[in-house]
Amino acid sequence: MCPLGWLGVATLCLGTLWAVPAKDRRKVEKPKAELSLLENLDLENYDVTLESYGDILDLSNYEELYDYGDLVPKIEVGTLAPRPKDPKTLPELAETTAGTPNLQPPSSAGPVPPAPIPRQGLPSCLLCLCLGSSVYCDDAGLEQIPALPPDTAYLYARFNRIGAVRAADFRGLEKLKRIDLSSNSISRVDADAFRGLPSLQELLLPENLLTALPELPRSLVRLDARLNRIPSAGLHPEAFRDLKQLQFLHLSDNQLDFIPVPLPESLRSLHLQNNNIQTMHEDTFCDSQEQGQIRRALEDIRLDGNPINLSLFPNAFSCLPRLPTGRFS
């Protein structure tokens, strides 16, 4: 080709190159200097060369997508600064740490034991369950009544092997309202075991081996001594006369020969079934001297299972709102 021809071609190429904007020139020039950044790109079967570089990849937004600020390490708020490997390299830090006393115990010392939890020293709260003013000792293998907290109001000691109730067992327990000693082996109760309990309302002694009842407090509302061995001689004379608050008297399945009279006017339920009662008096339930008397409170009388014919004593229960349960033939 003639020199003029070569000169024309060169002029055309230079004109084309300078016609490309600066932004587009960076597209071509910058990847040439940073081809090493493309080594991790997955280009499958494309063979990248300098000739095909601009044809295959669209790097028009390369500078916008690549954030050079990500290379600056970030410090998160709340994280601790890393310790230097050698504190001596920082003289001020070394002097500070050297003058600071070590407040932590040596690593050889064992863990500090927790403070002891105060325990109730009374045997009842070690053998039983104490919840507020209630003590639960059911089926605990007890052979005697343990010492109770002074504020005990309810005692449940059923299904044990308690053989006796002593006078000191309930001494000073002025708040005691209920004693349940059902299903034990109690054969003896001291005469004054319950006398000093001014708040006692319920005394439950069924299914034991009792042959006598002790003196009872006047505050008693319910007495249950079923399924024992109590004869009439085992009751104090007029044992229930002064119990002005007594409402439930259950003495069934014992060995009584007669109905324990006089009975308080407050009585509502009297269970004497399965004893050895054979007779009664006209004044057993009603006052023969008071005509027109109606004893409305006493509605539940059970005399069934006794060898007594109730039809022989019609005046004995003429004042009652209901006839006693028993044999009338």
Per-residue model confidence as pLDDT tens digits over 65-75: 444 444 444 44
Q: What is the pLDDT of residue 243?
A: 97
Q: Among 47-61, 208-222, 303-317, where is mean pLDDT lowest?
A: 47-61
- 271: its two tokens: 């269970």
Confidence of residue 60 (pLDDT cuts 50, 70, 90): very low
Least confident of 47-56, 282-291, 299-308: 47-56
Q: What is the mean pLDDT of residues 163-185?
A: 97
Radius of gyration in angstroms for the set of CA atoms belonging to the chain, rounded to a whole number: 51
Which pLDDT score, from 0 to 100, does residue 68 have?
41
| Across 48-57, 189-198, 252-261, 308-317, least confident range | 48-57
Give the pLDDT mean for 65-88: 45
Higher pLDDT, 180 or 62: 180
Task: Name the residue among 227, 184, 222 with its Cα closest to residue 203.
Answer: 222
DSSP of 103-140: -SPPTTS-PPPPPPPP---SHHHHHSEEETTEEE-TTS
User: How do residues 184-209 score in pLDDT, each as one tens digit?
Assistant: 999 999 999 999 999 999 999 999 99
- If you average pLDDT over every residue of the chain, what do you get? 77
Higher pLDDT pick, 244 / 76: 244
* 303 or 76, greater pLDDT: 303
Using DSSP, state whether 175 is helix, strand or coil: coil
pLDDT number for residue 265: 93
Give which of 313, 232, 329, 224 is closest to 270, Cα–Cα.
224
- What CA–CA distance (Å, rounded) separates 229 from 220? 22
- % of residues, the chain, pLDDT over 90: 55
pLDDT of residue 230: 98
Is the pLDDT reported for residue 82 higher than 70? Answer: no
- Tokens at residue 37, please? 């950044």
pLDDT of residue 12: 57
Rounded average pLDDT over 287-303: 88
Give me the pLDDT at residue 76, please.
46
pLDDT of residue 292: 74
Q: pLDDT band for position 26 (50/70/90)?
A: very low
Q: What is the rounded distance in angstroms from the CA atom of residue 42 to the CA atom of residue 214?
A: 102
Instruction: Quick: pLDDT tens for 97-122.
Output: 444 444 454 444 545 544 333 334 57
Which residue has better confidence, 287 or 59? 287
Residue appearing with tokens 């010392």: 109
Whether the full predicted model's pTM is greater than 0.85, yes or no, is no
